[in-house]
Structure 1
């Protein structure tokens, strides 16, 4: 009898663990993100040459063909000591403006390809660039000691001028300092329930003149407090995606795309 109970308990434990891993949401990692210079690096290859080799192999073997089919390519850039993976159109041509897409902790640049946002923006004559933030996706597991200057350096290294930055969830740790400290480097800002930076006050947001589109999902209760702060931005608009959760762009992608395009078109 005892053995049977132990066996049943073991099965229940394994099943519970599987569910936790499978459905672990992006919002549950907001305040515990690694790779921000807080001695939380997970390590990785000690030899940087090995790291580069692995990354190049990943580029060749996993995404090149799928990206080529939609008119995109990929490369690594070094920013703040990290090897940052970036996806961008093969040719620039005549475009309206650049759009830099960040991501939450449970996602990567591939998310924007999978839901069609890269393809959508390119078709509308924008220049979309998606990156994997340090420690996530295909980027190196390098602690970033200067969050305040990271996006500024990234934008300059990528060679894109005054992009609109789309920033869901965890990526707010990078985008909000950039929004506050380097507003002249932005054409627009699209925060999607971003992780807030407590070092900045409501007054800092009130001083901004950057056009801002605040998007959130109806079922994302945690976004409401963030929106109160973000709504202080003078030139801002709040849009709720009905019946959507924290990653609202996944729940109703067509509406997300329409809302984004309506915001982008009037920008000067």
Structure 2
């Protein structure tokens, strides 16, 4: 019968090849802003990316024919060490930022777990290769080769997971959306904004007057009571004279 391969020895794994346990951080996010000149904004983004070692992974442009409003969507990747520099430059050049959402994730534990799995599978592969060299029976050879094929498939899958994680750590991702507002639409928005602000401010003044009046109710009550008493006495004196 074919000899069974011994399970990987954790101590040997640590000795044979050390696991990289440096802190692994993944950064990603989205930013949306207004730009008066879309072409100039795009050229600045691409130039900044090139200077910092980044690139545009995907680019989309949409044009709303009803109001002639254009919008760009860029999915970019930039080296993680330059992510903050790129984001600061992008934010400072934006005319008006609508939204910015940045997420930071620590994947150190996940990285170490996958690396450990990969190294243990590689050790197991080496043990089966040693068994393959010593095997003499055809049945043993076939069984070992079948097991090796399964192990190698697992190794490829695990290596792919590790490569993807390394890529996420090395390059940060940012989804950039920027748009322009046509002059006519901008004027309508300004009028609508001013109208809403006027209504809001007017309502605020009305509420203030209402609550101020409620606070003064004792004085108002005393005033009304005084007027009523004065008129009652005046009326009584008039009746007595008659």
TM normalised by structure 2 equals: 0.23
Q: Which has the higher contact order (CA 8 A, sep 6+)?
A: 2
TM-score (norm 1): 0.22
Tell me which protein shows more helix as a share of its residues: 2
Structure with higher Rg: it is 2
